[in-house]
Amino acid sequence: MSQQAGGVPYWRLSGFYFFYFAFVGVMAPYWGLYLRALAFDAWQIGVLMSLLQVMRIFAPNVWGHIADRTGRRVAIVQLAAFVCLIAFVGVFWVTRFWPLFLIMSLISFFWSASLPLVEAITLSHLREHTERYGRIRLWGSVGFILVVVGLGTALDHASIRLVLWVVLLLLLGILVTAHLVPEAQVGHPDQEHTPLGRVLRRPQVWALILAGLLMTAAHGPYYTFFTIHLVELGYSKSLAGWLWALGVVSEIGVFLLMPRVFARARVESVLLLTLLAAFLRFLLIGHGAGHLPLLLFAQLLHALTFGAYHASAMSLVHRHFTGRNQARGQALYNSLALGVGGTLGSLVAGALWDALGAGMTFATGAGMALLAVCIFALKGRPPRVGSGG
């Protein structure tokens, strides 16, 4: 796909995703290890790791409202990137819990502005060709892989403080690429005046958001303690990095296949399958991670539990929230599904880890995924033709 294939600024959007998810490739696997090196306990780690999710509960709605009122989505992304970069510099000197809590809260508040707005911008550029979303988003997965493997290998030999320098460089990359992302015209003007409350009352909409909340919460033990879990089982940090990367490599393959999948299967059916896969995956990680073949299989399921799930969810969000509801719809999904779900998952994992151990903590995540299956299977499908609503 060329730079402007079909009017879509492919590489400029892909570049932002690359650096954004490279940042996630540091924070999810290795930030917990850095916090552990500062002698924080499991509850404190869970709280600090949850902050990026906590701010998603309310901050995206603030940013989404401003974006919809002003139409300046890209300017907000640029401001957020700048504040995150400046605020993170303070982490180099802070080692106590409460000062670090305050700095990470500030970073998280502005960080939460970026992704829902860029998702809305990307989908606006794609217009009716949302099946091409995965080909842009996959570059975020590439960034994640390069960082998670490279840093994991380096940390077998280098100080854990290397994490800080890598994060600083990635935040600089986000700031640069944020200035390259072009604004996009909001589509579907004929549907601009659909009241947001009416959209949210549709069963398939609130079922999607609630299932997304539970799916994100189910990943809480994984994103908070997976690397710690592997290291405590005797795996090296470099192997832990490769295991993270294996999951994301499988995710890339799924992003490339999604146009063909959506041409043959309903989006709702694909999403339901991903929820079932999450149930199985977290049971395997919690109770079978000591056996490498089972662990490898569990990581390959990331193709479904993240790649296929995310592509399906974004397609449905874009379908349900149109016109001037686009940014607010993305913000609400990020706020409720990702913000509340991520916070719940991290805090529950932090509370259970020392008390009940890895097996029960990951089993709790699996239970959340199973509940999401039940809710979406019952309410997440669209009404049949001729049934009204």
Residues of the chain with pLDDT > 90, as a percent, come to 45
C-alpha–C-alpha distance, residues 182 and 7, integer Å: 11
Encode pLDDT of 105-129 as tens digits: 999 889 887 887 888 788 777 766 6
Q: State the pLDDT confidence band at 224, using cuts at 50, 70 and 90.
A: confident
Encode pLDDT of 150-169 as tens digits: 998 898 888 999 999 999 99
Q: State the pLDDT confidence band at 92, using cuts at 50, 70 and 90.
A: very high
CA distances from residue 289 to 115, 227, 266, 302 in whole angstroms, order as listed: 32, 11, 33, 15
Cα 32 from chain centre? 17
User: Tell me, what amino acid is at 294?
Assistant: L
- Joined together, the tokens standing for residue 182 give 């072009």
C-alpha–C-alpha distance, residues 164 and 156, integer Å: 16
Structural domains of the chain ordered from first start: 5-379 (1.20.1250.20)
Encode pLDDT of 262-320 as tens digits: 888 999 999 999 999 999 999 999 999 999 999 999 999 999 998 899 889 988 888 88
C-alpha–C-alpha distance, residues 208 and 373, integer Å: 11
Q: Nearest CA to 43 among 382, 300, 361, 306?
A: 361
Encode pLDDT of 36-68 as tens digits: 899 898 889 888 888 877 887 878 778 877 877
Bigger pLDDT: 301 or 347?
Answer: 301
Check pLDDT > 90 for residue 81.
yes
C-alpha–C-alpha distance, residues 160 and 214, integer Å: 32
φ, ψ of residue 234 to 5 degrees: the values are 105, 0
C-alpha–C-alpha distance, residues 142 and 138, integer Å: 6
CB 208 within 8 A of CB 313: yes
Query: How many Cβ atoms sit within 10 Å of the Cβ of residue 154?
Result: 16
